[in-house]
């Protein structure tokens, strides 16, 4: 059974870089899927941040593209999120999630989620 687990600092200073890692257990990160990051500010809705495919291709939310980087470390079966120049508006629960490739089916969906990690931006 594949599981996802987010890890990283729960507190980041304004103007700093938020760095999170999602560890994939029970399966290979090299499968033909997309590995995603989604966040949810307190009391608000879900926001997609970006994704990385098994071949390293990335897609980012246009509103955050200049600040977001997603990478994968196959040797550690992990993928990571970096969000630069953070402000209080980046305070949120951050989730990693897996999405099967939908290029042929045109059925995009997330079939597996981590439990989430709360990141607060504050001095």
Partner 1 sequence: SSELTQDPSVSVALGRTVRITCQGDSLRKYYASWYLQKPGQAPILVIYGKNNRPSGIPDRFSGSSSGNTASLTITGAQAEDEADYYCNSRDNSGNHRLFGGGTKLTVL
Give the interface with partner 1 as residue ranges (CB under 8 A).
36, 38, 45-48, 51, 59-62, 95, 99, 102-103, 105-111, 113-116
β-sheet with 3-7: strand ranges across = 3-7, 18-25, 78-83, 68-73
Q: Which is nearer to partner 1, 62 or 123 (CB)?
A: 62
88 or 102: CB nearest partner 1: 102
Q: Which is nearer to partner 1, 89 or 106 (by Cβ)?
A: 106
Q: What is the Cα–Cα distance from 51 to 95, expressed in whole angstroms? A: 12
Q: For residue 122, what are the contacts with CB-CB under 8 A and spacing of at least 6?
A: 11, 13, 14, 88, 91
Pick between residue 16 and residue 58 the one whose CB is nearest to partner 1. 58
Minimal distance in Å, beta carbon 85 to partner 1?
21
Work out how close the CB of 40 gets to partner 1 at its nearest, in angstroms, rounded to a whole number: 8
Cβ burial of 89 (10 Å; 0-12, 13-18, 19+) is exposed
Q: How far is the CB of 112 from partner 1 (least distance, A)?
A: 9
CB of 10 to partner 1, least distance (A): 16
- Taking the alpha carbons at both ends of the chain, their separation in whole angstroms is 39
């Amino acid at each position: 059974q594949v599981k996802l687990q987010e890890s990283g600092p729960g507190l980041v200073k304004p103007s700093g870089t938020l760095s999170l890692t999602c560890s994939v257990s029970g399966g290979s990160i090299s499968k033909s899927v997309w590995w995603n990051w989604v966040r949810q500010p307190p009391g608000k809705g879900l926001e997609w941040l970006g994704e990385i495919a098994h071949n390293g291709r990335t897609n980012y939310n246009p509103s955050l593209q200049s600040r977001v980087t997603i990478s994968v470390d196959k040797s550690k079966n992990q993928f990571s999120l970096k969000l630069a120049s953070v402000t209080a508006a980046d305070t949120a629960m951050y989730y990693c999630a897996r999405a099967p490739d939908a290029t042929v089916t045109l059925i995009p969906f997330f079939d597996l989620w981590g439990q989430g990690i709360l990141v607060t931006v504050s001095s």
